[in-house]
Amino acid sequence: MQRWLKGLLTLGLLTIPLWVFAQASLADSPVTRVDIDTGALRGSSALNVTAFKGIPYAAPPVGDNRWRAPQPVPPWQGVRDAHAFGPDCMQLPFAGDAAPPGAAPAEDCLYLNVWAPSDAIPEPDVERAPTRRPVLVWIHGGGYVNGGASTPLYDGSAFARDDVILVSFNYRLGRFGFFAHPALRQEQQSQTVPGNYAVMDQLAALGWVQRNIGAFGGDPDNVTIMGESAGGASVLDLTGSPAARGLFQRAVVMSGGGRALMGPMAELDQDRPERPSAETIGEHFAHRHGIQGQGAEALANLRQLPAEQIVDGLNMGTLMSSHEGPPTWTGGPIRDGELIPGPPERIYQAGLQQRVPMLIGTTDADLGFSAADSMDALLTPFGEDAERARALYDPEGSNDVKRAGMALGMDRMMTEPARFIADQVAASGEPVWRYRFSHVARQVRDTLPGAVHASELPYLFRTLETRYDQLDDSDRAMAWQLHRYVVNFARHGNPNGGGAPAWPLHTPLSHLMMDFTRDEGPVARQDPWRARLDLVERHLTPVTSP
């Protein structure tokens, strides 16, 4: 047994399954009241954690509010119970979802949740100087088409027990969250640029935090945004959005890409050879449902479509499927020139992002795709470097095109883009720490090629029991370590401290990172995949400034 594991056992940190305690019935526990800008809330407390769930941060985006910026929540009278999650946003559930929603999906879904240390909640009529806790805002993943904040995997109790307030929220998905049409531009030209309604939701949730988190004992000047997959990509978009300035002080990006995570970004109203505009895609969708025209009548008809027809079979299982006819889904964020000035690659390369400290990384068997059916087809794009690529991606000479293609696809889609963003953050003068999560739970170690996409999440939230029936001490130790680094970062803007192994800063020259290994715990080392990533970077298509 490694010394790091022995140390945790000595401290008694592996003997209590914390998530089990977090699931103690909140409905029967003492209640706590807070007052926010729209009314009073009644939360529930258990084991020194107070949770408030299903808090509306915007009016229901239904009816005439479909495809509008988030509207204000009407104030309520009396005390609103905040014991249960609100609905997750409308979607077609996906059987292979790593974090399946715990609440039924609905179009009325703009709700958030807060977990706070019970002693952080200010007591009514008690005069004392408030102690402001750091705030961590979680943005869920799901390819912009699935996911939600209600899954037990994202329970924030472990963070609250470590004196960090955790906020999670839903944002509109699929065509509810990203949709453009000429009729929307005509209607909203005097209000806001249409298209990126999910981003507007994210900004509204962060604005709610600024106005209200003090009521829960949180510090609005010490906010960290954190997301995984599409949530990580959202963090990058928020750091690049002028509208998000001042809403957070640091960022955590987990498997969020950094270049073209979901393909080239659609322009709002300009067709390109490589991709039609978002408005053209919206018109294709309207035509598919028999709706013609570009005026108010067409928009009214679109808003009258049942929610299930807006989803129209879209989920993570169908994203990569071939479809007959013109495209009807933008793929995610739209370049609108205001909320989203451009893709993160261009924003960061031009140095236009919000300059904040960052943690960024991926898993060692992360997402990656390849359509190559032979090694020659896989390696030909490397030109004169083809044999070098063969040596790096097929060192045993097995000619296993599937395995080599997945590794190369992962490097292009996830691993190299994360390093690229880390390089740009370092170049801006901000501290950045890079990681690779390589630990695989003992229960599935013999069946998986490595740490697959999203497999670090139950370690991050210390909710391992939501996913695994069998755990060993290395699993629990890894959860403690990863969670501790993020807690430290949320508190101080630096992951180090509290007895965890030292995590060195990333620099473009050192290539140092933290590897959360299978058997040795967190190990700081130079990136063993550096040559692979250098080769991928060398063969990327150059980008221009926004």
Give yes or no for a contact between 258 and 417, defined as CB atoms under 8 angstroms apart.
yes
Q: Give backbone dihedrals phi and psi of 96, rounded to 5 degrees, phi first.
A: -95, 15
Beta bridge partners of 52: 114
Residue 162 per-residue DSSP state: T
Work out the burial of residue 383: count CB atoms within 10 Å of its CB; fewer than 13 is exposed, 13-18 middle, 19 or more buried: exposed
Cβ atoms of 60 and 108 within 8 Å: the answer is yes
Alpha carbons 279 and 266: distance in angstroms, whole number: 9
For residue 394, tell me if it sits in a domain.
no
The domain that holds 422 is classified in CATH as 3.40.50.1820
Cα separation, 60 vs 110, in Å, equals: 7
Question: Does some domain include residue 391?
Answer: no
In this structure, what are the phi and psi dihedrals at residue 445, rounded to the nearest 5 degrees?
Answer: -60, -30
Amino acid (1-letter code) at residue 72: P
C-alpha span between 531 and 121 (Å, rounded): 50
The reported pLDDT for the residue numbered 1 is: 38
**Identity at 396, one-letter amino acid code:** E
Q: Is 379 contained in some domain?
A: no
Query: Is 72:86 a contact under the CB 8 Å cutoff?
Result: no
Whether 387 contacts 227, CB under 8 Å: no
DSSP 8-state symbol, 285:
H
CB atoms within 10 A of CB 145: 26
Contacts of 312-318 with C-beta under 8 Å, sequence gap 24+, read 312/175, 312/285, 312/288, 313/92, 314/92, 314/145, 314/174, 314/175, 315/91, 315/92, 315/93, 315/94, 315/145, 315/146, 316/94, 316/96, 316/97, 316/142, 316/143, 316/145, 316/146, 317/94, 317/95, 317/96
445: containing domain: 3-370+412-518
- Looking at residue 127, its pLDDT comes to 60
Number of helices and strands in the chain (H, E): 18, 17
Q: How far apart are CA 285 and CA 525, in angstroms?
A: 49
302 closest CA partner among 315, 318, 285, 317: 285
CA gap 449, 489 in Å, rounded: 30
Distance CA 303, CA 408 (A): 42
Sign of CA dihedral 326, 332, 338, 342: negative
Which of these, 456, 454, 446, lies nearest to 517 by C-alpha position? 456
How big is the chain, counted in residues? 546
Position 536 in a domain: no
**Dist. CA 344–CA 261, nearest whole Å:** 10
Residue 402 makes CB contacts below 8 A (sequence gap 6+) with none
- Give the 3-state secondary structure of residue 356: coil
- For every one of its 546 residues, what pLDDT tens digit does the chain have, with 9 covering 90 and above? 344 433 443 333 343 344 343 444 343 345 589 999 999 999 999 999 999 999 999 999 999 999 999 999 999 999 999 999 999 999 999 888 888 888 999 999 999 999 999 999 987 666 655 679 999 999 999 999 999 999 999 999 999 999 999 999 999 999 999 999 999 988 876 577 899 999 999 999 999 999 999 999 999 999 999 999 999 999 999 999 999 999 999 999 999 999 976 678 999 999 998 889 999 999 999 999 999 999 999 999 999 999 999 999 999 999 877 677 899 999 999 999 999 999 999 999 999 999 999 999 999 999 999 999 999 999 999 999 999 999 999 999 999 999 999 999 999 999 999 999 999 999 999 999 999 999 999 999 999 999 999 999 999 999 999 999 999 999 999 999 999 999 999 999 999 998 889 999 999 999 999 999 999 999 999 999 999 999 999 998 755 444
Instruction: Report how far apart the first and last C-alpha atoms of the chain are (Å, whole number).
Output: 52
Q: Are 262 and 332 in contact (CB under 8 A)?
A: yes
**Secondary structure of 382-441 in the HEC alphabet?**
HHHHHHHHHHHHCCCCCCCHHHHHHHHHHHHHHHHHHHHHHHHHHHCCCCEEEEEECCCC
- 252 occurs within a structural domain: yes
What is the model's pTM? 0.93
Does 38 fall in a domain? Answer: yes
Instruction: In whole angstroms, give the CA distance from residue 161 to residue 96.
Output: 31
How far apart CA 135 and CA 168 sit, in angstroms, is: 11
The closest of 22, 94, 164 to 465, measured between CA atoms, is 22
Predicted confidence at residue 262, as pLDDT, reads 62
DSSP letters of 33-56?
EEEETTEEEEEEEETTEEEEEEEE
CA atoms within 13 A on the CB side of 12: 0
CA dihedral 42, 43, 44, 45 (to 10 degrees): -120
Amino acid identity at 393: Y
Check residue 366 and report its DSSP letter.
-
Residue 9 has a pLDDT of 35
Total tally of structural domains belonging to the chain: 1
In this prediction, residue 261 carries a pLDDT of: 61
Strand-pair partners of 89: 106
452 has which bridge partners? 365
Q: What is the pairing mode between strands 49-56 and 111-117?
A: antiparallel
**DSSP 3-state percent helix, strand, coil across the chain (nearest 5):** 35, 20, 50
pLDDT of residue 523: 98
CA–CA distance, 318 with 320 (Å, rounded to integer)? 6
Residue 495 to residue 105: CA distance in whole angstroms:
35
Q: Are 134 and 164 in contact (CB under 8 A)?
A: yes
Phi, psi of 7 (to 5 degrees): -60, -40
**493 within domain boundaries:** yes
Residue 398 domain-assigned (yes or no): no
